[in-house]
Structure 1
């Protein structure tokens, strides 16, 4: 799993080529992340650093999160939910700041998906 993650999902050559495919590319990135959670569930062999790096690369980087959300809001929100699920299942334990940032990113993505944004009355 570590090799797969390093050479594919966290490899800028791979994920940038996926993003070149727009909507479907983001769905492919999300599918890879979902499969990683599945590997944790079935094998227990996914190391916690994998989730940390996925979180930092795709959701805590504002520019990347905005790109993902613009191309495919549903898949980008699902990515945040999967990473939070991985934490809840104890596949990784991020520090408090990272967890709070991930939760905020997830809320931001959900808001975008639901059409809630700046200029909308609360």
Structure 2
């Protein structure tokens, strides 16, 4: 089943986003989720509600504010950098890791095209 990160309807081009297999999606969104702190729960909930509470096959960045959008970007980028040495990477066939990282970089590229993206906050 295809999984989706909806990136743009609220701040970028309608329908902008990234679609991939469930395994790659899980690597990206779950590694990113782990980096959120307790006091960032509102941002986390705004992004992950469709997946967590509605049983959907996507997360949504469309309507989050600039701060939350960039917080997710920062954590997503950090999670990608840490992925090759992570516990999850140890259970993925080594030959799949470059493809996962390439897909992950596409998420970040798409986010950089959104008007809410800030190089550093």
TM over 0.5: no
What's the TM-score, normalizing by structure 1?
0.38
The structure carrying a bigger strand percent of its residues is: 2
Query: RCO higher in 1 or 2 (8 Å CA, sep ≥ 6)?
Result: 2
What's the TM-score, normalizing by structure 2?
0.38
